[in-house]
Amino acid sequence: MDGVPADNFEILQPITQTPGALSGETAAGRYYVPATVNTSRWGHLPNRQAEPVLTVPSGATVVIDTISHEGILEDQGRDPVAWFGEHGVAREQVLSDAIALTDSDIKHDFKHDGPHVVTGPVAVADAEPGDVLKVEVLDLAPRVPYGVVSNRHGKGALPGEYPITPAQDGASAEHPERYGNVSIYTPIKETDDGWVGLMSGPNDAPVEFPLNPFMGLMGVAPNTDESPSSVPPLAVGGNADINELGEAATIYYPVKVPGALFYTGDGHFAQGDGEVALTALEGSMRATFRLTLLEAGSPEIPGGQINRMLGETDTHWVTVGLDPSLDEAMKDATRESIRFLHDYYGIDQATALAYLSVATDFEVSQVVDATKGVHGLIRKDDFAAVTAED
């Protein structure tokens, strides 16, 4: 399945900006953050000391470009032109942003740093600890007509069993084959039934699956001077990998530092619950968000308080549990779901637990990011007759 089947796919290069766009609005009336060496960090999340690349007022619409780490990492040679070229991708089909990043002096330690390229952070004016940042996902557009799925030694749901290819001594960007890791190049294309990904089956028969884009990594800065790895998800977001939080979803984040400092990255074109190989179908994404500040005590805060990220779709509330143990993550998600039902709908805890047992699906977000994730899907229609607590 080498080659790029999407003949008419327009590579989304940076938006044309008006002068000073990083401190003001673009010509289209929206704020824009390009993915450059100066607006990106590789392997770590912003902390409370991070300088914002842009400050916007509450309610602003912000377009943020992201660079996928897949195709640029050291076990792929840290050379996207060469790596994608091996799969039939012409240089003009490789993002100039990715080329600039890998050609730069930006430091990245494959062994100790997270893999993700993070764009941001964006500060929201007047945001203070105790507030909540409401993030609406307005649009997600693939920037390239291909993605990559990777399985790496010591990672994924089956470490020690996969990859089958053994690792060798002396692995480096100069000798990426010695890592023994496996990356599956996966084109995407548009069909009459929507966008699909393509993998090779027997005799090159295509295996097609639908795309469901979302950002694997979104969040606000934690209140720490340390440089958090981009790998484990946090109560304030990060690498949560929840596939329900795509276009039209809303996520509420507890603000821990002045300005909130929102960031994103790790575009996923498609991901099954669990993300068992290690990665989803990952690719560079252009994401459009609306960032709205909800001050502490605002009646718009679901349940009156948010102490960890909370998702919302048209049909469900999405509660999140996190822990290095999958069993404990399940317990954490259950406790958070009980708390939410009690605070938002006024339901007593015993009834909340009984309801969750009969009517709520708890899904494994991912089992591959050191901190495991489980999320509950609480159906809104079940509470149509219940008045939400103010």
pLDDT for the residue numbered 9:
72
Regarding whether 347 and 283 lie in a shared domain, the answer is no
Structural domain boundaries enclosing 169: 21-294
Single out the residue of 307, 230, 244 nearest to residue 40, CA to CA: 230
Do 225 and 362 sit in the same domain of this protein?
no
Same-domain pairing of 174 and 323:
no
CATH code of 207's domain:
2.60.120.580
Please say whether the beta carbons of 80 and 102 come within 8 A: yes
Looking at the domain assignment, is residue 280 inside a domain?
yes
Final residue belonging to a domain, choices 261, 294, 327: 294
* Domain match, 66 and 213 both: yes
* 8 within domain boundaries: no
Q: Is the same domain home to 158 and 236?
A: yes
Cα–Cα distance measured from residue 160 to residue 337, given in angstroms and rounded to the nearest whole number: 35
Same domain, 324 and 260: no
Task: Give residue 1's pLDDT.
Answer: 37
Domain membership of residue 186 (yes or no) is yes
Residue 72, pLDDT score: 98
Residue 301 counted as domain residue = no
Measured CA distances, 342 to 7, 334, 339, 373 (Å) = 52, 12, 5, 22
* Number of domains into which the chain is organized: 2
- 246 and 135 both lie in a single domain: yes
Q: Which residue matches tokens 């500060």?
A: 123
CA distance 114 to 44: 6
Pair (345, 266) in one structural domain: no
Distance CA 239, CA 230 (A): 7
**Residue 379: inside a domain, yes or no?**
yes
Q: In CATH, what number is assigned to the domain containing residue 330?
A: 3.10.28.20
In a domain, 131, yes or no: yes
Asked if 112 and 211 sit in the same domain, the reply is: yes
> Are residues 332 and 229 part of one domain?
no
User: Which residue is associated with the tokens 């990777």?
Assistant: 150
Q: Are residues 25 and 156 in the same domain?
A: yes
Residue 300, domain member (yes or no): no
Look at residue 234 and tell me if it is in a domain.
yes
Handedness of CA 322, 326, 330, 331 (dihedral sign): negative
* DSSP states along 188-234: EEEETTEEEEEEE-GGG-EEEEE---EEEEEEE--S-SS--BSSS-B
Q: Quick one: pLDDT at residue 16?
A: 54
Burial zone of 360 (CB within 10 Å; 0-12 exposed, 13-18 middle, 19+ buried): buried
How many Å is the maximal CA-CA distance in the chain? 64
Domain boundary among 242, 260, 294: 294
Q: What is the pTM of this model?
A: 0.93
**Residue ranges of the chain whose pLDDT lies below 70:** 1-8, 16-29, 387-390
Looking at the structure, tell me whether residues 288 and 331 fall in a common domain. Answer: no
